[in-house]
Structure 1
Amino acid sequence: MSFADLPAPLRTALEGRGYAEPTPVQAAVLQPEAAGRDLLVSAQTGSGKTVAYGLALAADLLGDAPRLPPAGAPLALIVAPTRELALQVKAELTWLYAPAGGRIVSCVGGMDPVAERRMLAQGAHLVVGTPGRLRDHLERGNLAPGSLRAVVLDEADEMLDLGFKEELEAILEETPAERRTMMFSATVPRGIAALAKGYQRDALRIEATSQGEQHGDIEYRAALVAPHELERAVVNVLRLEDPRIAMVFCATRATVARLHGNLAERGFSTVALSGELSQSERNRALQNLRDGRARVCVATDVAARGIDLPDLGLVIHAELPRDPETLLHRSGRTGRAGRKGVSVLLVPHTRRGLGQRLLTAARVKATWGPAPSVEAIHAKDAERLVEQARTLAAEEPAEEDLAVARTLLADPALAAQGAEGLAAALVRVLRAPLPAPEELSDVSERPQRREAPTPRAEGDQEGIWFRMDVGRNGNADPRWLLPFLCRRGHVTRQEIGRIRILGRETQFEVAPYAAARFAAAARRAEGEDAHIRVEPMQPVKGPPRRPRQ
């Protein structure tokens, strides 16, 4: 499959951007059997899916015409989970449809709704927005849906995870019944399948990447560290890899704030992204990364959704992700559009089993080893300095540089050091701005013990009780119950307490600090045991402070 059969304006746009051959997902949506049909597409993050559905929309928008008609009521609607992703989609579709005279308008939360209303009133061919803002414009009559020929749900699984099911259904109900509906999703859990069944007609299912195939452009590594040295390990990974842009993921806002401050204090140019920031603050942080004024972004999972930084070469999981989907989502920020990337999982040596289970569940093969040592970082620095010197030596020196060199060689104190001494002094000057690497404990020789349960002292908080709808009458057996609960809730055996097998149900206790994580994972059940209902018997609050290991 090639771009040869596309309308001329789109071919012109693609050639201008250096596109020679379609990516797998682009080729899949351009195959003859996909023409004009509803599509349910699963593809990896960074696989070129925005351009893919832009191309798939061409027949709906252009037909046989060389250019789009004058902008009026929108012809296509694209719904994305976050402001950042929606604005990135707008930017991609803008260049793709520019030769065809396309006008694209964005409607996203955090922006001025009055300005958006004016833009809609001036006419648009495509509208890109977030679920809440699009629903608001529809209900206020600012967005006329009657002429829509197609609707695209981008990263549909994330929109359901973020709680936008009601908004999506309201939007789809407002659009014409004969519209074409395309859903793009990294995974197709039950919620997406149900949405597709209710709002698509004879949808063509496309898997642009074989299930279980690892993202070939991402190299996964798992580094064992002492639990109290995670932040020091982040420093050493950043120093060893020295990427153009790196993203460091944390589980909470508090951890983001602390790690951001510590990295800045050590000399890294760093920005932070968390849910408490305003849209202008988020935009400013991202622009600093794109402009090169910052090189490290410390973020929570929610804050980093939908972010696309082309030069992002390294992802560090400073805290273990809560589930395999989060691991893949975080890692997918790098290795995009054919570029190579590295994803480093920092694993406390006391939780190696959990780290391995996350990688296995995500179908990812990682190289295990220690965190970078001071010696390895100094050796890498030396390689870079030598390569940098070779590159500069191959260029014709500027006269002002030669003048400084002559001054150095003429200085008696420096001349007494000889060429080697002078070179060493210059190396020290080049090394001086680099953040110092951290000394880390050697955990490679420690026995890998099971994560030990913390004894509950008298008066400590009881565990949180859950129930599942399989009991003694359903052949509930302790031999499969415990592995099932660990797999379903992404917890360890030590985080499961007492188990009571009753006639029609089984009740069990989960450690307080793991209860919220267990409940969230249990709700996202997939696979052959997904029909087994697991639910809390009491309200589950956010996790309290975890006991020291």
Structure 2
Amino acid sequence: MTEVLIPPQLAAALAARDYVDLTPVQSAVLAPAAAGRDLLVSAQTGSGKTVAYGLALVDTLMGDAERLHRTAEPQALIVAPTRELALQVQRELTWLYADTGARIIACVGGMDARRERRLLEDGAHIVVGTPGRLRDHIERGALEPYSAKAVVLDEADEMLDLGFREDLEFILNATPEDRRTLLFSATIPAAIATLAKRYQQNALRIEAGTRERGHQDIDYRVIRVFPNEVEHAVVNVLRQIEPKTAIIFANTRNAVRHLQATLVERGFSAVFLSGELGQHERNLALQSLRDGRARICVATDVAARGIDLPNLALVIHAELPHDAEVMQHRSGRTGRAGNKGVSVLLVPTTRRRRAESLLAEAGIRAEWTGPPTADDIRALDRERIFADPLLTEEPSEEDRQVAAVLMERKSPEDIAMALARVLRSRLPEPEEVSDPGFARSATAGPRGRPERDLKMTGDMAWFRADVGRANRADPKWLLPMICRRGKVTRDDIGAIRIHDTTTEFQVSAALAETFIVNARKANADDVFITPIQEGEGGAPPPRFRRHAEEGREPRGEGKPFKKRPPPGAAKGKAERGGFKHRKNRERR
């Protein structure tokens, strides 16, 4: 960190937080060209922009003074789109301004408005809040920003997307015209440029890193999964990476609650966040993550912006986001301020094209793999045992005495096995999962077809189940059974032909190898599934045999059969049609 760039009033606070180097956006706002000017800053999430505008405001709020004096009216307003982001900004600025005497309060929806009014009456130097709540306080006379020296709009693009334009314009119009206006946004679309042109004067444009730069600290991975194994894949990813803190995103409240309950049942310490929670419940969940009582947060996109958790090393997209921007904001919870992080997208077989489109739109290159297997995780566990505090911490004298007694009564092997049981009991068991393989499996030939000599029809492979009409076979229960046993979807199944004692059905050739592996694992006495080999004999299905004897040919797979028209059939048909028409007319 270049010492001359740091405002002396904040140097001690930054040093206490082990700041070694300023991020690009922090250096840019402290450059001589930015001093005292309005700023229009585009900076990706996790770039350190909260500290950046905290640094930029020092000269405006304090000048050469070492401490701030008590004030009746706020000197700066900071507007953020969500409660979580506003509260996070308040926490960041509180430690940054700890030695300046600054009083910083938050005014956000979902909190006690009367308490906020009392705090405002006592005076505050910086007020951080959401647009609606700040406007409400101004209209009621509790907040008087008429002497404010600066206004910061954080995540301005998000506030416009959420429909806060009118509130923002009201707040800006209530502040002095000669104020500093600092506008921070991930992107600068036309609406942001228009807002800046109207409310900023001679603004300095700062671009703190490109979109690609924002990906450098995040390792993007795509994991192929079967639709019915998404939760199992989540468990195995958590067990493989073993992050100190992780966020898992789902798209609906119900999915979030279900996934959080599933993880707790399997032994993970997990909380959830969604729009249905009140602010107090959200605060409790986030605090449990910050103090280490919980390691995993399952959330809807309410947590995609404005949540900064310590040691957050992993983001899992259990369900694909709706667009590329949301994916980047979700992923941006990790890989922040120079720290490394991992973002994992779980992609079911039916969502591959959507995932590819999202990644292409965001300009992200990701590694595609299958899910971590249970064997992979158990192998990692055997290595991790040696780093467990039980084996690395210095033993006490009492520990030595107990160990001596154990050595007298038990063999070293018995003690080692007991220790292994203790260590394993603290870890959730990994799940058995399979790799769908998508286009080409590990055993695929040069054209992507399985090397086993399966009977192929176009892009489909044939299989046989030992159940038929005699067993009351019916597609209503056969199709779900096939999907469940082979871990495929209905879209992966082709024709189903039910015979007297067997049923033949098609499965997508790309999934044939994986399908039979899964089906054989689940084979039981009730229904046994086997592949039909290329060239395997056997009479055709009864309806095929009947049509062949009658000289008819099929119109196509799954369509009714028709007779070959004899010569002159077209003419005869026309004549019959005419006769039928006359006959009907005579009846009328």
Output the TM-score relative to the length of structure 1: 0.77
Tell me, which stretches of 5 or more residues in structure 2 are unaligned? 441-487, 495-588
How far 1:220 moved relative to its partner? 1.0
Which whole-Å CA distance do the structure 1 matches of 2:398 and 2:100 have between them? 51
1:354 aligns with: 354
The aligned counterpart of 1:108 is 108
1:3-402 maps to which residues of 2 (within 5 A)?
3-388=3-388, 393=391, 395-402=393-400
Tell me if the contact between 2:7 and 2:55 (Cα under 8 Å) persists in the aligned partners: no
Matched AA of 2:399? D
Which letter maps to 2:432? E
Q: Contact (CA 8 Å) 2:249, 2:298: kept in 1 or not?
A: yes
Partner Cα distance (1:115, 1:333) in 2: 31
Identical amino acids, percent of aligned pairs: 62
Counterpart of 2:420? Answer: 427
Q: Secondary structure at the match of 1:4?
A: helix
Residues of 2 paired with 1:56 and 1:205: CA distance?
14
SS in 1 for 2:98: helix
- Number of matched pairs: 447
CA distance in 2, matches of 1:81, 1:312: 22
Any idea what the Cα deviations from partners look like across 1:361-386, whole Å, max 9, x if unmatched? 11222111111110111111111112
- Deviation string 1:396-427 (CA, Å, 9 cap, x unpaired) is 3212212222232222xxxxx84344323311
Separation of aligned partners in 2, 1:454 and 1:125: 65
Q: What is the Cα deviation at residue 387 of structure 1?
A: 2.6
Question: Secondary structure of the residue that 2:297 maps to in structure 1?
Answer: strand
Does the Cα contact within 8 Å between 1:3 and 1:21 map onto a contact in 2?
Answer: no
Show the 5 A alignment for 1:379-528: 379-388=379-388, 393=391, 395-411=393-409, 418-444=411-437, 447=440
Distance apart, 1:202 and its partner CA: 2.3
Q: Secondary structure at the match of 2:307?
A: coil
Q: Distance in 2 between matches of 1:394 and 1:66?
A: 47
Letter in 2 for 1:245: T
2:372 aligned partner, one-letter code: P
What secondary structure does 2:223 align onto? strand
**AA of the residue aligned to 1:185:** S
- The amino acid that maps onto 1:91 is R
Distance 1:278 1:445, change over 3 A: closer
Contact 1:107–1:133 (8 Å) recurs in 2: yes
Distance (Å, rounded) in 2 between the aligned partners of 1:256 and 1:136: 32
Partner of 1:509: none
Mapped contact 1:71–1:103 kept (Cα < 8 A): no
1:56 Cα deviation from its structure 2 partner? 0.6
Comparing 197-206 and 282-291, the one that deviates more? 197-206
Counterpart of 2:404 in structure 1: which amino acid? R
Tell me if the contact between 2:67 and 2:101 (Cα under 8 Å) persists in the aligned partners.
Answer: yes
Deviations 1:445-501 (A, max 9, x none): 655x9x97999xxxxxxxxxxxxxxxxxxxxxxxxxxxxxxxxxxxxxxxxxxxxxx
> Aligned pair in 2 of structure 1 residues 48, 214: CA closer, same or farther (>3 Å)?
closer
Give per-residue Cα distances to partners, 1:257-278, cap 9 Å, x unaligned.
1111111111111111110011
Alignment TM-score, normalising by the size of structure 2:
0.72
Q: The residue matched to 1:74 in structure 2 has which SS?
A: coil
Q: 1:145 to 1:395 in 2, by over 3 A?
A: closer
**In 2, are the aligned partners of 1:248 and 1:316 still within 8 Å (CA)?**
yes
**CA distance in structure 2 between the partners assigned to 1:77 and 1:118 by the alignment:** 17
Distance 1:452 1:164 in 2: 43
Question: Is contact 2:245-2:312 (8 Å) kept?
Answer: yes
* Residues 213, 363 of structure 1: 8 Å contact kept: no
Aligned to 1:531: none
Q: Provide the residue aligned with 1:473 in structure 2.
A: none
1:144/1:453 Cα in 2 relative to 1: closer, same or farther (>3 Å)? farther
| Stretch of structure 1 that moved more, 172-181 or 211-220 | 211-220
Whether contact under 8 Å (2:224, 2:435) holds in the other structure is no
Cα deviation 1:85-144 (Å, max 9, x = unaligned)? 111211221222222221112111111111111111111111111111100011111111
The C-alpha deviation readout for 1:291-323, integer Å capped at 9, x for no partner, is 222111110002443111012111000000111
Q: Which runs of 5+ in 1 are unaligned?
A: 412-416, 456-549
Distance in 1 of aligned mates of 2:391 and 2:316:
34
SS at 2:102's partner residue? coil
CA distance in 2 between partners of 1:404 and 1:322 (Å): 57
The CA distance in 2 between the partners of 1:420 and 1:190, in whole Å, is 71
Give the letter aligned to residue 437 of structure 2: S
CA positional deviation for 1:30: 0.8
**Cα distance in 1 for residues equivalent to 2:41 and 2:84:** 21
Q: Identify if the C-alpha distance between structure 1 residues 256 and 370 changes in structure 2 by more than 3 Å, giving closer, same or farther.
A: same
Q: Using the alignment, how far apart are the partners of 2:402 and 2:344 within structure 1? A: 42
Structure 2 counterpart SS, 1:128: strand
Distance in structure 2 (CA, Å) of the matches to 1:395 and 1:255: 40
CA distance in 1, matches of 2:253, 2:36: 45
| SS of corresponding position for 1:435 | coil
Change (3 A) 1:279 1:4: same
* Alpha-carbon distance in 1 for matches of 2:37, 2:101: 25
Q: Which region of structure 1 is more displaced relative to structure 2, 136-145 or 299-308?
A: 299-308
Asked if the contact 2:222/2:369 (under 8 Å) is kept, the reply is yes
Query: Does the CA-based 8 Å contact 1:4-1:11 persist in structure 2?
Result: no
Whole-angstrom distance in 2 between the partners of 1:112 and 1:445: 52
- Structure 1 residues 405, 127: closer, same or farther in 2, change over 3 A? same
Distance 2:405 2:160 in 1: 66
- Quote the Cα distance in structure 2 between the aligned partners of 1:262 and 1:19: 39
Is the 8 Å Cα contact of residues 321 and 327 (structure 2) preserved in structure 1?
yes
8 Å CA contact 2:5, 2:30 repeated in 1: no
Quick one: distance in 1 between partners of 2:121 and 2:394? 58
